[in-house]
Structure 1
């Protein structure tokens, strides 16, 4: 089953350790210590150090807090050249909806054991961030983290441990969780199979 997890991440995609390397680069460019970044992002010094060294992965919502502290778009942590994700600009999009086809080649971002596939194009004024998240087995647990907004997760395949405010809940296919994101939370795949989740968060991350 680990072979299946590897198949979903071809060599053409971003390296899983790129996020940590970019975090270290941006932090040093701003003249911040790990202690300073921890104070501004709400994450611990130890966890940030592990992410920078490629020992731990970081979820998109926690990464959004780091990006805000470093005054960088989230996309720049995944793109080696700092370019924005491909897609239509706001001027080209209608103000009331977007339409995303399954064969459009949606943007994907890899962070450690997790691959995030964006499920909608950008749209001015839209606040939901819908994603398909593939979580490979193993890896280190992320640090529990609270942030502004709401979060919804629906398990499509596999099993997921979803911890909310220190309490673990095991989710199976068809199960879902919906919470205010200011409550510390984290998710983890402790099985030997790939887990697939549809996740919707606010605010938008890209």
Structure 2
């Protein structure tokens, strides 16, 4: 069994949290938490396709120049080679899952 309490934890972007729930070569599932007014660096993945699914809060995500606003229990797919950037513009933390196939380790390119 895996949970936030026993998963590998890491900090990204200086103040955002990630928990590796599944970490295999063919797939990764990461539970992420972004505090208010935080964002990731715009990037793309050469091989991996991703699916972002919001657990709580509101996530803004720019995908290839179009911005989307996702709320709790909403998700969006991102194909390989598609520049994107996740942002939290709200006053509350946002928590979401990022499901990647295959794993994104070594597959990230700054856009």
Shared fold (TM-score, shorter chain, > 0.5): yes
Would you say 1:160 and 2:59 are equivalent positions?
Answer: yes
Give the number of aligned pairs: 103
Gapped runs of 5+ residues in structure 2? 107-111
Superimposed CA distance per residue, residues 164-200 of structure 1 (whole angstroms, 9 cap, x where no aligned partner)? 0111100001110012131110100000101000111
TM score, norm. by length of structure 2: 0.81
More strand by share: 2
Would you say 1:175 and 2:77 are equivalent positions?
Answer: no
Question: Is the 8 Å Cα contact of residues 113 and 138 (structure 1) preserved in structure 2?
Answer: no
TM score, norm. by length of structure 1: 0.46
Q: 1:104: how far off?
A: 6.8
2:44 aligned to 137, 146, 149, which one?
A: 146
Check 1:157–1:182 CA distance in 2 against 1; reply closer, same or farther (3 A cut). same
What SS does structure 1 have at the residue aligned with 2:3?
Answer: coil
Q: Which has the higher contact order (CA 8 A, sep 6+)?
A: 2
Superimposed CA distance per residue, residues 6-28 of structure 1 (whole angstroms, 9 cap, x where no aligned partner)? xxxxxxxxxxxxxxxxxxxxxxx
Measure, in 2, the Cα distance between the counterparts of 1:103 and 1:143.
24
Check 1:106–1:181 CA distance in 2 against 1; reply closer, same or farther (3 A cut). same
RMSD: 2.0
2:92 aligned to 173, 193, 201, which one?
A: 193
Gapped runs of 5+ residues in structure 1? 1-99
What SS does structure 1 have at the residue aligned with 2:43?
Answer: coil
Would you say 1:106 and 2:4 are equivalent positions?
Answer: no
The aligned residue for residue 85 of structure 1 is none
The aligned residue for residue 78 of structure 1 is none
Q: What is the 5 A alignment of 1:46-65?
A: none
